[in-house]
Structure 1
């Protein structure tokens, strides 16, 4: 399926994990992809290599999405193509403080750091890239697509920390506001994953703890599975495809039902 043939896509935070999976899947379906990273150039180049293997073109851009200068660099990269059809705001960070009742676990700076990347970053990216998204709409007559990578933390209040959950809740609200404000030229949606078996989770714990977490997720999600990045990416790309051309302002849970809570019947 080459339904993104000829389209220009930008995926922030696409050096690894879910971002890489979305970038590669876009390429497999025909898109030219702008790959973004903030720290690991080698990982970003691996993503670009996979995109090339899929027969697509890519550009790798180092940029910190939490700064206007970083988003200007993304804009400059997209300007070379004359338009932008798809923007996926995937870059994100967290602070691990899983006891949400421990109010000494997080500082003001923790909150400010998370909001800078998880909330302000997507806003700055959309601010910088809005003219190019509008140009794509004018050229094709099709609404351009913005997808924000959120989390079930933003809809349930669970997750790695109170600050992380609050930042994703803010991102969800911003998704709704901008879906109204940027229509009809631009559609804005969010995907809300739960557990994803990537370095994001693995780096927060040792190998034994990670294995236990996977088993726990498999036992307590209604679908009895632990999601990987490709599982999330397949659903996420629906929201930027023509199949979702009439979808905007949606928060799509892709978490094997984790947001529903534990079901004894599902664990049988």
Structure 2
């Protein structure tokens, strides 16, 4: 089954990986719901980029940590096109903290990260599942991280949240089958504005160089690289796959250095 005339929701798709996924889906004929929390200007630019690929696209503002917003995002797709075929749970958050400094995080830090990274995807799936079940098919792709597989990343809370997301992917792949396929993509480093804004241009370039020198494939991942893996699960190539967590990190996990992961 191809993506022509399908309807896709991509959460957190104003910038970075979410925008790259949305544009990639648009190139393949899908109609897009572009979700954002605060970055309205960038979200509108992503809508225009999707339209430039010949796709229909609309905006849906909302915080995935809020269940009412999740219901409203799903309703935007149903009101406009009457169906939901693909859900990409890309919206995420983190807090930077040395893993060895246990006092760097408290319960509220864990809860705020889990609210977006775990509860948010669950609520979005719950909002979209009835329509997917009714139409007899649906595809969910959760954006996780190698942090959830290897225990590295920006903080213990972040790594734990992505591990929880991976486990939830397995649970829902089993319980929502056969109509709905649920898979996860686990990126390593992604060279997006998120990294350059956080670390500054010089350190960002240093991280890119280190990735190119230390990963087995000698590549620093860009948003478009990861988007291809996401689209694989959303498109007909993934028809026979559910409950999978796909690491896409240029082989970093084969002998990783403790770098911050997405």
Length-normalised TM-score, structure 1: 0.93
Matching residue of 1:4: 3
Choose which of 241, 244, 247 in structure 2 pairs with 1:250. 244
Matching residue of 2:185: 191
Which aligned pairs between 1:150-229 and structure 2 lie closer than 5 A?
150-229=144-223
Choose which of 134, 138, 142 in structure 2 pairs with 1:148. 142
- Secondary structure of 1:60's counterpart equals strand
Any conservation in 2 of the 1:222–1:262 contact (CA below 8 Å)? no
Deviates more, 1:106-115 or 1:118-127: 106-115
List structure 1 segments (4+ residues) > 4 angstroms apart after TM superposition.
none
Distance 2:47 2:29 in 1: 14
Stretches of structure 1 that go unaligned for 5 or more consecutive residues are 138-142, 264-268
Distance 1:177 1:91 in 2: 20
**1:42-75 CA distance string (max 9 Å, x none):** 0000000100100010010001000111101112
Matching residue of 2:32: 33
Matching residue of 1:82: 82
Query: Offset at 1:259?
Result: 1.1
The root-mean-square deviation of aligned C-alpha atoms, in Å, is 1.3
Aligned residues: 256
Choose which of 226, 229, 234 in structure 2 pairs with 1:232. 226
**1:209-268 CA distance string (max 9 Å, x none):** 1111111111111101101000110111001111110100000011101111159xxxxx
